[in-house]
Amino acid sequence: MTIVLIAVFAYLSATALLVRAVSRDDDQSMSALWLWPAIAAVAAHGGYHLLAWRAAGGADMHFFAALSLVGLGMATLTALFGATGRMRALGVVVFPLAAIMLAGYAMVGHKPPEPHDWRLQLHAWCALLAYSTLAIAALLALMLWLQERALRRRKFHGWLRALPPLTELESLLFRSITVGFVLLSATLLTGVLFVEDLFAQHLVHKTVLSVLSWLAFGALLVGRRRYGWRGAIAVRWTLVAMALLGLAFFGSQFALELVLQRG
């Protein structure tokens, strides 16, 4: 549990430093101080999962464990983005979320891992990477909407200066969606190839919603390329597609594991 407390404290410390830097518009502080506790938090977060897997004899992919892994993926991507550009403000939202997800997993505890072979594990890891990347894209879409809304109303808050220019933010959004779409495609492909009875009763909702999300993200990328979709249209498509994807995995997992008490 000590490593969990270290990770949560480091996440919150990074968040506090980012909030302080944004409120003061202090670029120097933002580019230096926050990154070290963020790296420590990500390392401790990942270390906790590794220790849990070592003790259990395999990777735990149940609801709270998977949620925590998605938080870890989002925090890792945020630290990478923030270290190389002006996307460090994303950590104000991502780091507390990652801390909450990790704390939830630690409170619930580990569950015995299911005996999956490398093919199903590949499918699961593709899914977690896709969810993490596309969740970052959804947050970027929200930031894009807030930035456009503030510009239309001519209310230039301090946080607005912490964000990259509108065109750069939009470009990063679509790069994230493209990477996430590739990972989601790999998830669906490995599901078709490796998951037996993909349309079984306990998997049909997950499969259908995942395919609908994949179609929505694909339509957005096609619309961007052929028709120049951007702004509010891009935000709506991104959030709808991410909502479908969230329901596909975490909605179905919540119902199966916590409501129906099934693995």
pLDDT in tens, 225-258: 998 888 889 999 999 999 999 888 776 665 555 5
DSSP state, residue 154 = T
pLDDT at 208: 86
The answer, yes or no, to whether residue 73 has pLDDT greater than 60, is: yes
Domain boundary among 96, 115, 134: 115
- Exposure of 101 by Cβ count < 10 A (0-12 exposed, 13-18 middle, 19+ buried)? buried
Predicted pLDDT of residue 187: 92
Are 1 and 108 found together in one domain?
yes
Give the separation between CA 89 and CA 85, rounded to whole angstroms: 10
Cβ atoms of residues 30 and 21 within 8 Å: yes
pLDDT digits (tens, 9 = 90+) for 103-156: 999 998 776 666 667 677 888 889 999 999 999 999 999 988 888 887 777 766
Tally of domains within the chain: 2
Closest CA to 79 of 70, 68, 90, 69: 90
141 and 219, same structural domain? yes
Query: Which of 87, 115, 143 delimits the end of a domain?
Result: 115
Same structural domain, 146 and 216: yes
pLDDT at 38: 94
d(CA 196, CA 252): 18
167 in the same domain as 90? no
Domain containing 248 equals 117-263
Please indicate, yes or no, whether residues 69 and 153 belong to a single structural domain of this protein. no
Question: What pLDDT is attached to residue 5?
Answer: 94
State whether 194 and 170 are in the same domain. yes
DSSP secondary-structure letter at 202?
T
| Contact indicator for 87, 164 with CB cutoff of 8 Å | yes
How many residues are given for the chain?
263
Residues 183 and 77 in one domain: no
Give CA 65 to chain center in angstroms.
14
Residues 187, 120: Cα–Cα separation, whole Å: 10
Same structural domain, 25 and 135:
no
Is the domain of 139 the same as that of 259? yes
Q: 209 CB contacts (<8 Å, ≥6 apart)?
A: 244, 245, 247, 248, 251, 252
Per-residue pLDDT at 57: 73
In the listed set 89, 115, 141, which residue is the last one of a domain according to the structure? 115
For residues 102 and 25, the model is more confident at 102
Distances (CA, A) of 203 to 82, 90, 193: 37, 33, 15
Whether residues 129 and 104 fall in one domain: no
- HSE-CB at 115 with a 13 A cutoff on CA atoms is 0
- pLDDT, average across residues 32-56: 90
Q: Is the per-residue pLDDT at 27 higher than 80?
A: no
Cα 146 → chain centroid: 19
